[in-house]
Amino acid sequence: MAEDPNTEESEQRPLLGGYKCGISLLFMTLVTVTSVSSDAISKQLVKDQPVFFLALLRGITMTSLILPVIIYNPDLFKSTVGEWRLLSLRGTASSCSVIARVGALFFTPLGDVTAVTSVIPILTALWSACVLLESIVCAEIVLALLSACGICLIAEPSAFVILNGTSVDYSMLFGVGLAVSSTLFGSLGYVLNRKLSHRDVTIHPIVQVFYYGVISIIINSIGFAVNCAYTRSFRLPRAAEWGLLLLVGGLSLLKQLFLTHVLKTERTVYVSTLIYSSSVMLSYVIGYVIFHDSPSIVTLVGASLCVLSTICFIISRRND
């Protein structure tokens, strides 16, 4: 279904030419920096701590930081009575995305994970066609296939090593699979967030983040309990690790607030494209400097395909 040019969404000016361009770019830069920094810290911590435990503490930290605001201003929830199902679904999608992303960081280099998730704009369009009944053209389907080829190239140690007669790196393949799962859930979260903005009621970003935090705590508590029962091995974090865990939660909260704010003023496709495209380069730089990750030429070609597909996508939708 084509968008009505008279709708509020269509009246928003394009990002690159809007009068609020500077503020929007500032918020998207903050989203990029907080997201990559949080991933880098999580990658360091996931070596010694279970994925569900890291995600659980992230949810607890985020919820604890905004709980005083909720207690001080309970009226924020009055307008969300009829939207709790959609808010809960959005929180579930975002929680699953974080779990899969942290798991991917354990098996896969930071830059590769970010490159895979850079195709979120294309998946967002596919989800939008299903959830919001927005139109999608054949060229965008081709871009989705192009990005899929890029993901295969990023996973080349596992996907193509068979041709050389050597063993398959199943851990890398599993890590890329988790990154793809994170991308699927993340793009669904984008669409649900945008669907919330189309409703007649105004839902404060703090409320959306609170729902996400509470649902994250529930899901990860169950996962952590199952993990402990299965492995029977867990150690409490050291003092320095507790500080990093709190920092991850704080950065995640800032990212959610910045992202929710910018999505209220700019189109989902523009926001997700610029954020995830810029994150790729920063992630590869941090991965090389801190974790000494040296991506192969084939991997860089795959990452370039993912980024180029998103750039072509935003060009194809510049007049929407």
Task: Give the tens place of pLDDT for each residue, 16-62.
Answer: 444 455 677 777 788 888 888 888 988 888 888 888 988 888 888 87
Half-sphere exposure of 75 (CA within 13 A, CB side): 1
Lowest-confidence pick of 45-54, 126-135, 207-216, 276-285: 126-135
pLDDT, the chain, mean: 78
State the greatest distance between any 2 C-alpha atoms of the chain, in Å, as a whole number: 64
The reported pLDDT for the residue numbered 5 is 35
Of 41, 46, 30, which Cα lies nearest the Cα of 287?
41
The reported pLDDT for the residue numbered 14 is 44
Query: Which bin fits 199, alpha (ψ -120 to 50), beta or left (φ > 0)?
Result: beta
Span 234-243, average pLDDT: 80
Q: What is the pLDDT of residues 264-320, one digit of tens each?
A: 666 666 676 677 677 888 899 899 888 888 888 888 888 888 888 877 877 776 655
The reported pLDDT for the residue numbered 218 is 94
Span 109-132, average pLDDT: 83
Query: Which bin fits 12, alpha (ψ -120 to 50), beta or left (φ > 0)?
Result: beta
Lowest-confidence pick of 33-42, 46-55, 181-190, 248-257: 248-257
Q: Which residue has the higher pLDDT, 237 or 81?
A: 237
Residue 6 pLDDT level (bands cut at 50, 70, 90): very low
Lowest-confidence pick of 12-16, 168-172, 297-301: 12-16
Q: Residue 12 pLDDT > 50, yes or no?
A: no
Q: Residue 13 pLDDT > 70, yes or no?
A: no
- C-alpha dist (Å) from residue 141 to 66, 145, 146: 40, 6, 9
CB 254 within 8 A of CB 30: yes
Could you give the CA distance from residue 219 to residue 62 in angstroms, rounded to a whole number? Answer: 15
Regarding pTM above 0.85, the answer is no
Q: Residue 67 pLDDT > 50, yes or no?
A: yes
Q: Residue 242 pLDDT > 90, yes or no?
A: no
Task: Please write down the long-range contacts of 96-99, taking CB distance under 8 Å and 24 or more positions apart.
Answer: 96/181, 96/182, 96/185, 96/219, 97/182, 97/183, 97/185, 97/186, 97/189, 98/55, 98/58, 98/182, 98/216, 98/252, 99/51, 99/52, 99/55, 99/182, 99/219, 99/220, 99/223
Residue 9 pLDDT level (bands cut at 50, 70, 90): very low
Residue 189 pLDDT level (bands cut at 50, 70, 90): confident
Q: Which residue has the higher pLDDT, 50 or 253?
A: 50
147's CB contacts (< 8 A; 6+ apart) are 119, 122, 305, 306, 309, 310
Q: Residue 4 pLDDT > 50, yes or no?
A: no
